[in-house]
Amino acid sequence: MKLAIVITSFDRAFCVERAIGSALAQDYQDIEVVVFDDDSKDNTQAVVEKYFENPKFRYIRVKNNLGQAQLKNIAISILQYDAICFLDSDDEFTLDKVAKQVAALNNKPQLPTEYTNVIPYCNEDDIDIVLTKAWGKFLDGEEVIWGDLANPFYWIFPNLVAPNIPHASTPLLWTTALLRRRVFEHIGGFSNLRVMEDDEFRTRSIMFGHNIYLVTEPLYRFYKTPESQTLAEETKPGSNNLNDIHDDFQEFILDIKKTTNRDEFEKKFRRKIDIPELEFDIVSRHEGLAVNEGIPISEQTSAILRELVNQ
């Protein structure tokens, strides 16, 4: 199984090497590590140039600061993979993360009937998404394990397979996810949100019937720094922007609950990737890129991507 590890980055020259190092050092060998640079103003490019000769590494820099969600959409549109995972540029993987997640894809869902009946679209066949617990460290030095107590009904989470985990509510980090390519072919890309794009995508994944498995080990390590997006003035808890995004997200949840016909739901919530302002600045390697036909992409964005991959 070919796997892509995507690192999205903006002005993270001071920490991105830790993320790159943990990705390239994975026990699982069939990987490509791709840094998507969101028009950084620092020396990120200079920091990562030493990896350009590594055949498992690629660097793609865009213009116009598109935001993390759109960088992920570019990744799922042009990288060649059977499964993909995302790594924040200030975080790191344990060395066995990918190998254990790939192994977990072979598990079969064993969901109690009351879970599969909550949403009629639940697919009882295969695991398409694998999460892990996460170890985290905050600014004050506090350390925490997220996902210790996983609630299958965390917001609307009926497709979660969490063996031997009591049903109490604590957060699960969607940033730990490994996702099969067919998830994107089915439900489309990420919504263009500055924050919470993972939560919105997670909810659609579940509603489209994609089963999720939880590996009950902390295989993802996150670090909160003053530069973390969730601590930035415009998106930190309590900010007006985040409140607006949260309100939009709640409206999205309510809209989902009102949609009971599967055909209507899939038509309404399958997100077509559209990045009209997309321009590429630097691509360290063009070979191996191709526009993925099965993923919904607008004609304009598809034309821009084809121009890139044909260079």
Note the pLDDT tens digit of each residue in 45-101. Answer: 999 999 999 999 999 999 999 999 999 999 999 999 999 999 999 999 999 999 999
* Residue 163 burial (C-beta neighbours within 10 Å; 0-12, 13-18, 19+): exposed
pLDDT tens by residue, 258-287 = 766 667 777 888 999 999 999 999 999 999
Domains of the chain by range and CATH? 3-309 (3.90.550.10)
Dump pLDDT digits (tens) for 183-201: 999 999 999 887 778 878 8
Extract the tokens encoding 101: 């997640």
Contact 187/208 with Cβ under 8 angstroms? yes
Q: According to the model, what pLDDT value does residue 250 have?
A: 64
Q: Extract the tokens encoding 286.
A: 């063009």
Token couple for 60:
């793609």
SS3 125: coil
Say which DSSP state 272 is in.
P
Q: For residues 109 and 131, what is the distance between their CA atoms, to the nearest angstrom?
A: 14
Mean residue pLDDT across the chain? 81
Q: Residue 273's beta-bridge partner residues?
A: 297
Compare 112 and 61 and report the one with higher pLDDT.
Answer: 61
Length of the chain, in residues: 311
Q: Sorting pLDDT into bands at 50, 70 and 90, what band is 249?
A: low
Residue where the block lists tokens 């263009």: 192
Exposure string (b/e) for 116-125, b if CB count within 10 Å is 16 or more?
bebbeebeee
Q: How far is CA 229 from the centre of its chain?
A: 15
